[in-house]
Structure 1
Amino acid sequence: MNILMLSSTFPYPPTRGGTQVRTFHLLKYLSQHHAITLVTQREPGVTDAEVLELRDYVDNLIVFNRPQDTSESGTLLEKIQRFYYFIQKGTPPSVLNRYSSEMQTWIDNFVEAGKCDVITCEHSVNEIYVRSHFQKNLRTIVNVHSSVYGTCRNQLKTGISENRFRDRLYLPLLRRYEQRYCSKFSAIVVTTEEDRIQMQEFNPKTEIQVIPNGVDLVSFPYRTHDPNGHRIIFIGAMDNLANIDAVCFFSNEVLSEIQKLYPDTTFDIVGSRPAPEVLALKEKPGITVTGRVPSMVEYLHKATVCVVPMRTGFGIKNKTLEAMAAGVPVVASERGLEGLSVDGSNIPPRALRANQPTEYVTLISQLFENSQLRTKLSRNARQLVETEFTWESAGKRYEEVLTSTGC
């Protein structure tokens, strides 16, 4: 089967963030059985070597330069103009600012020439390149990753929106936008049951499949020993709004309380492109901000506990799965554990659930004190990942959606 994959995010190396990781591992699996044409955009940080390396995983790699994103810049008049365009045309500025007319022309010609059997949009931002009439002649799939409407609504609810006034105006428009673009696709893929329910509400007749993220078990091997100590870690891209909020919340409201009980407690914030708010946290006792590191798993194996104190952001969190695969006991919020069965009746404990500062302090203290609990969580979590959250399993399920003849 000839598959045309669209990804405005350059999906290599698969260590840059959630979107890149998911796209890369799915295309890697599909390329074993199908001919893949990947159309993507190159941002300034992508090297020539990375472009060459990605070519080894696909039959045909088409790379366009990413347009400069101006969705958050410009004069007040320009911002007002973008908002009115959103009202009139129905497409958010964040999508339009990644749009390449050159890339659109290439896709149109490729599809009209009958060179593909299925199109996949890796992340909903790529839906803009799919014409409504495409699904008359071939199967069209959107791999949503997370609902833009749901994410905006949650950020407003939790109070971490960067621009509350703007997002209140955008929220009903995002709902309309998500409902409209989904109608162009033969099938929708989401990562969690929560997103499936959201999308089903918008599109009750559309085929919607839940395919969770996975972990590369070679890149995240199980740890060989328990390091003990009082070392806490958070991993993730540190220019991401949800991650910024998570580490600031933990640093400002939780860490000092733990340090009163365990003065030598440290907190490593490990991830690329740390925002100014994150870099400022280095001034607090015990906090290290690493920036991008050669090996995330080396830092994980040295940690006593991994925290995932997310207060916003939808979908299964790669950071949670990767920590669990590495064997690091996890203390996480409802958002950090979304889509994962980690506790409850007839479920062995795989992670500890916390949302309030006092809950984090209590549970982390328990893990610091109890090596048996650390071992139990470590083993159970690794087993869960091995059985339910590998990229091979995700790839097989994605292939079934792509090759299905259902409507």
Structure 2
Amino acid sequence: MADVLFLTQRIPYPPNKGEKIRSFRLLERLARRHRVHLGCLIDDPDDLQHRDTVRAMVADAHFGVLDRRRARMWSLRGLLTGEGLSVTYFGDASLRAWVRRVLTEVKPKAGVISSSNMAPYLLDEPARPPLLVADVVDVDSAKFAHYAREARPPMRWVFAREAVRVAALERRLADEAAWCTLVSEPEAALFRQVAPRARARVLGVPNGVDTAFFSPEHAAVSPYDGAGPVLAFTGHMDYPPNIDAALWLAHDILPLVRRKVPAARLAIVGANPAREVQALASRPEILVTGRVPDVRPYVRHATVCVAPLRIARGIQNKVLEAMAMGRPTVVTTAALTGIAAEPGRDLLLADGAPAVADAVLQALEPARALALGAQARRFVVEHHGWDHTFAAFDTCLRGLDGPEPVRGAAE
């Protein structure tokens, strides 16, 4: 077994949100074959309780603890250093010292990083591992460029600067890593535009879903009171794209559905709802749950699951989970990115409030709902099991048992 240094920007447990789900599954895969030395950060006090669970999975672990408010203030030093603010936010002296100790004492044969934000912990280290694999996941520079186009000054300037700084880091990381992986082939194609010299070493590695955990057979009491169909939208509700989708669903889509089905209700399920999302709970037809211990009952007993994202990066786990549980699912084009499901057969695709509302009404028809749910489950089982989707990581790490790769070879 080889020693592998694995760095993630947040503790990869519990696997209850996009970045944690992916990093947890990658950690599981690495730990099957190698001695893993995990370095990560915690910026949510609720995650402190999970340190022992994660320690039990690895040979060694270090958890840098960040206070979110202080980290945001400290990130402003990036304005002086020229770094991206999102990168400096995740800078932690204790983690940096631990990484250097592991590099010099353990001498791992490979370094795997999750997110470009973790790249500075390795790129400037002279003792860094001979094999570097970067699970970039999403093209963050493109995300910030999108935010810049949508924002008003002064945030427009902040986001535009961030897009430039992060793109420079992404290019350097791509040039120096043996492989860069992203969450979908469309995201990988976008990354190849950012880092064209590394295009032959960039792979799309989609997320999977635990089809045994997210199963229609999951028995749970319905969390919904009252009568009438329930539209469910899940996700962390402090994430700007989810906030935008929740507000659009509540203000523009749900009223159109209720014209035809007056008893229809909306459940917005997920942690840390922003103030404007929480305010939606004042409407009797809308439930805003906040953090829940298990999202499955809310998905299992929803009549329709809706993912009306207008802004999206990568792949939407919420869509895969709903499909795995056999629920009829309505998505926008943005929410379908990276998922090769066939609209009309595996799920329903619509853009614009009237079209989304019409798709929801179709999915509320019992026969249509039954057919969509069955086919959704079948698609996910066939195409999105974790062992199937993550097999590419074995290719990326095969250098552990062979000659050391040459870093930074231009293609």
Shift of 1:69: 4.8
Q: Tell me the equivalent position of 1:357.
A: 353
1:330 and 1:246 map into 2 onto residues whose CA distance is: 15
Secondary structure, aligned partner of 1:196: helix
Matches within 5 A, 1:101-140: 101-132=93-124, 138-140=130-132
For residue 193 of structure 2, the aligned residue among 175, 190, 201 is 201
Is the aligned partner of 1:334 residue 2:319?
Answer: no
1:367 to 363, 368, 372: 363
Equivalence for 1:304: 303
8 Å Cα contact 2:323/2:376 also seen in 1: yes
Cα offset, 1:295, TM superposition: 1.7
Gap change, CA 1:113 and 1:72, over 3 Å in 2: closer
Counterpart residue type for residue 122 of structure 2 = V
Q: Describe how 1:248-263 pairs up with structure 2 within 5 A.
A: 248-263=247-262
* Aligned match of 1:41: 41
Question: How far did residue 395 of structure 1 move?
Answer: 3.6
Alignment of 1:252-331 (within 5 A): 252-331=251-330
Question: Which residue in the other structure is 2:26 paired with?
Answer: 26
Partner residue, 1:210: 204
CA displacement, residues 123-153 of structure 1 (integer Å, 9 cap, x when unaligned):
2211110125669851101111111111122
C-alpha distance in 1, partners of 2:296/2:144? 31
Q: Distance in 1 between matches of 2:388 and 2:152?
A: 34
Aligned twin of 2:409: none
- Give me the whole-angstrom Cα distance separating, in 2, the residues matched to 1:238 and 1:218: 26
Q: Distance in 2 between matches of 1:335 and 1:341?
A: 13
Query: 395, 402, 409: which is aligned to 1:400?
Result: 395
**Alpha-carbon spacing, 1:388–1:357, altered in 2? closer, same or farther (3 Å):** same
Q: Given the superposition, is the C-alpha separation of residues 169 and 41 from structure 1 closer, same or farther in structure 2, using an over 3 Å criterion?
A: closer
C-alpha change, 1:161 and 1:13, in structure 2 (3 Å) is: farther
Q: 1:215-254 alignment to 2 at 5 Å?
A: 215-223=209-217, 229-254=228-253
Once residues 135 and 199 of structure 1 are traced to their aligned partners in structure 2, the CA distance between those partners, rounded to angstroms, is: 27
Q: 1:244-291: CA deviations, max 9, x gaps? A: 111011111111111111110100001111111110111224100011
Contact 1:323-1:330 within 8 A present in 2 as well:
yes
Cα pair 1:12 1:50 within 8 Å, conserved = yes
**C-alpha deviation, 1:174, in angstroms:** 3.3
Which sections of structure 2, spanning at least 5 residues, go unmatched?
407-411
> Aligned partners of 2:110 and 2:152: how far apart in 1?
38
CA-to-partner distance for each residue in 1:3-26, whole Å, 9 max, x for gaps?
1100130111111x1111111111
Q: CA deviation at 1:233?
A: 0.1
* CA distance 1:47–1:164, shift in 2 (3 Å): closer
In structure 2, the partner of 1:60 is 60
2:217 and 2:302 map into 1 onto residues whose CA distance is: 10
2:339 partner SS = coil
Residue 4 of structure 2 aligns with which residue?
Answer: 3
Q: What value does the CA root-mean-square deviation take over the aligned residues?
A: 2.6
Report the CA distance between 1:172 and its aligned residue: 3.2
Normalization by structure 2: what TM-score? 0.88
- How far the C-alpha of 1:180 sits from its partner, in A, is 2.7
- Segment drifting more, 335-344 vs 45-54: 45-54
Give 1:117-196 correspondences, 5 Å limit.
117-132=109-124, 138-157=130-149, 163-196=155-188
With over 3 angstroms needed to count, the CA separation of the structure-2 counterparts of 1:134 and 1:27, relative to structure 1, is farther
Percent identity between matched residues is 24
Give the TM-score of the pair, scaled to structure 1.
Answer: 0.88
Change (3 A) 1:395 1:135: farther
SS, match of residue 111 in structure 2 = strand
Asked if 1 retains the 8 angstrom alpha-carbon contact of 2:181 and 2:202, the reply is yes
* CA distance, structure 1, for counterparts of residue 378 and residue 172 of structure 2: 40
Matched, 1:388 2:389: no
Residue 105 of structure 1 deviates from its aligned partner by: 2.3
Q: Secondary structure at the match of 2:315?
A: coil
Give the Cα–Cα distance (whole angstroms) in 2 for the partners of residues 335 and 161 of structure 1: 26
| C-alpha contact (below 8 Å) 1:135/1:186 kept by paired residues | no
Amino acid at match of 1:363: A
Where does the alignment leave 5 or more consecutive residues of structure 1 unmatched?
Answer: none
Q: Give the superposition deviation at 1:46.
A: 3.9
